[in-house]
Amino acid sequence: MAPSTLERRDVAWLDGHAHEWVAAGLVSDEQVAAIRHFEHLDEPAAPQRLTLVAEVASYLGSVIAFAGGAAIIGPNWEQLGLVGQLVLALAIAMVGFGVGTWLVRVAEAGTERLGSFLWLVGTGGVAMAAAVIMNEFDPSDDTWAAIAIGLPVLAIGLGLWRNLDRPLQLLTAVVGFGITLGGIGALIEVSLWVAAPAVWMIAAVFCAVAALDYVHPRLIALAIGAIGVMVGAVMFSGVSENVSAVVAMFTAALVVAYSLHDRSLPLLAIGMVEFFWATMSSMATLLTGMVARLIAVLIGLAVVTYVALRAQRIGRGGPIDPVA
């Protein structure tokens, strides 16, 4: 059976719009059927190999096994020596990548997610091995250790992600990039006045590219970018609390505005949390007077009251315009 060239989200989109195209006279029922046959969508679906309960149980079992192993090995970590530590780390990597790859190749939704999780475990094993090697060279050098750990994590994340629908591998690549960038910044002693706007701009560009649907999975990428721009805003607090508060408020407003435009509730939730933090930061730095804080309270109450009254008026007069 040849696999479909369409992603699962594309299949759902096709099924949801095909009847509209037929009704509009753009295509016929026979043409829609031909498209489905060409993409092998009319063939019976393969039996589900991993139920949701079994998948969750696999995650829980992995976590329990890891926690138990850490509890056993942790107190005796130093006694293992360099060779023993490396063997353990590489064993974790080999099991994670080996079993994970096998599960992903099964090409079933549940096994792909579980395989992606095991890839994350394997990446952790590589990071552990890098940390062991760097600790052997110089236990006190955190800068080069960050670079030595971040680079392989970044490379593995990018190699496994490849702009496919693999959220954990996208997160892995982002974490590796962040660790590497932090290590390089500390190595060349970059000022926060440079580092903060650099982080903000990198995250903003990532958000823009994700918004244009060039990065997948799109929602996860947008969430990562939204968190990244706020991290950049917070970094300004190391040099100026006032500047940090202003940038944070501007950033949170952008995230909220775009989430409303995109009609994305998860992104809106992130934006509202960021807006709350930015508001509290502004109260502690910019709006320090009682009068200014009272004005802010009154403005907030006025906005809520206006929205409530407008909703009541529109509800009596007809349907609510979602854009207005």
Residues 212 and 239 in one domain: yes
220 within a domain of the structure (yes/no): yes
101 within a domain of the structure (yes/no): yes
Please give the Cα distance from 184 to 174 (Å, whole number).
Answer: 15
Is this structure's pTM higher than 0.85? no
Please say which residue of 165, 190, 215 terminates a domain. Answer: 190
Please say which residue of 26, 45, 64 terminates a domain. Answer: 45
273 phi/psi in degrees, rounded to 5: -65, -45
Alpha-carbon distances, residue 320 vs 258, 310, 313, 315 (angstroms):
20, 10, 10, 7
21 within a domain of the structure (yes/no): yes
Please give the Cα distance from 315 to 62 (Å, whole number).
Answer: 51
The residue with greater pLDDT, 99 or 38, is: 99
Report the sign of the C-alpha dihedral through residues 267, 273, 276, 281, in that order: negative
Q: How many domains does the chain have?
A: 4
Residues 106 and 175 in one domain: yes
Report the sign of the C-alpha dihedral through residues 17, 212, 258, 165, in that order: positive
> Are residues 192 and 244 in contact, defined by beta-carbon separation less than 8 angstroms?
no
Angle ∠(241,246,249) on CA atoms, nearest 5: 120
Please give the Cα distance from 147 to 127 (Å, whole number).
Answer: 11
Residues 66 and 97 in one domain: yes
The tokens of 134 are what? 């760097």
Where in the sequence is the domain holding 307, given as residue range(s)? 289-324
> Residue 147 has what pLDDT?
95
275 within a domain of the structure (yes/no): yes
Digit-coded pLDDT (tens) for 280-303: 888 877 666 676 667 666 766 776
199 within a domain of the structure (yes/no): no
Digit-coded pLDDT (tens) for 137-189: 888 888 999 999 999 999 999 999 999 999 999 999 999 999 999 999 999 98
Residues 120 and 186 in one domain: yes
Please give the Cα distance from 245 to 323 (Å, whole number).
Answer: 30
198 within a domain of the structure (yes/no): no
The tokens of 33 are what? 């059927």
> Residue 302 has what pLDDT?
73
Digit-coded pLDDT (tens) for 93-123: 999 999 999 999 987 888 899 999 999 999 9
